[in-house]
Amino acid sequence: MSCNVGSTDRIIRILAGLALIAWALMGGPAWAWVGVVPLATGLFKFCPVYPLLGMNTCKK
């Protein structure tokens, strides 16, 4: 797994993931737990969908 999530993309993913998880914890809908996905991809700097789409936002 090489880095394919750039810094701006990473920050957005982490913030969105944390916001969705916080919403779920505060009684939001069950689907808000999907925030785990952008949080994980932001923390690991790898998105498994990007290679399928030929995308890479990580500057080398």
Domain boundaries along the sequence of the chain: 1-29
pLDDT value at residue 1: 78
Reported as a single tens digit per residue, the pLDDT across 9-28 is 999 999 999 999 999 999 99
Q: Taking 80 as the threshold, does the pLDDT of residue 60 lie above it?
A: no
pLDDT value at residue 59: 85
Note whether 5 and 58 are within 8 A (CB). Answer: yes
| Tokens at 9, concatenated | 């993309």
